[in-house]
Every structure is written in structure tokens, then in C-alpha cells.
Amino acid sequence: MQGRHLDQTNKATVWEATLSRAGPIGDAPRPTAVPKEGEELGSAKGHEMKRPASLAAAILFWLIALAQLLRVLLRVRVTAGSHDIPLWLSAVAFVVLGALGLWLWRERRE
């Protein structure tokens, strides 16, 4: 009988937490994972968050950063219409894109 009481208490706690996470009026409550016995509600213990979109974006940023670096190292001339694009702009793009990729990679691992 006591096990049944714990189950009902646990379900009530999960439902209350789900309702408290609901957004403005009219939004449906967000689903939540049922914690295991002895685990607090909302703890991420054992539930690693994987962000595949962050990984894909980080890889894309790094590939574009690599292309910018290669442009600087190989001194490739780029012309847009009648304007030459300076090499220093590619160096700046390399640093910015590399930093964005690193930022997304670190965010994914948290």
C-alpha cells in the first residue's frame, strides 16, 4: 500500500511541475520526464542533453572559417562586381566564425 502511495505522490509532483512550467495562458504544458526513485524533479542526472543542431552549426562555422583561412594563406583574390575583397576581411571572418563554432561546441557539451 505504501508503494502505491509513493507512486501517486510522484505522479502528482510531476503533474504540478509540468503545470508550473506552462507558458502564458493558452499554451499547453510541456512534457517532463518522470524522475527515478531518489532523484529530484528537474535534475539532469543521467540525462545528457545532446544538441545535434548545435553540432551541425559548429561544424559548418568551422568549415567556412577554414575556407577563409585558406584564402588568406593562399592569397586568393576575390572580386565582387568591380570591388576587390581585402584579405584582412577573411582574417576577421576566420576569427569570428571560429569563435562562434567554439561557442556552440561548448554550449553543446554543457
d(CA 42, CA 90): 44
Non-local (6+) Cβ contacts of 72 within 8 A are 87, 90, 91, 94
Domain membership of residue 14 as a residue range: 1-43
Using DSSP, state whether 79 is helix, strand or coil.
strand
Residues 33 and 75 in one domain: no
pTM over 0.85? The answer is no
Structural domains counted in the chain: 2
Tens digit of each residue's pLDDT, the chain (110 residues):
555 555 555 555 555 555 555 555 666 665 556 656 665 555 555 445 578 899 999 999 999 999 999 999 999 999 999 999 999 999 999 999 999 999 999 998 87
Residues 34 and 2 in one domain: yes
Residues 61 and 26 in one domain: no
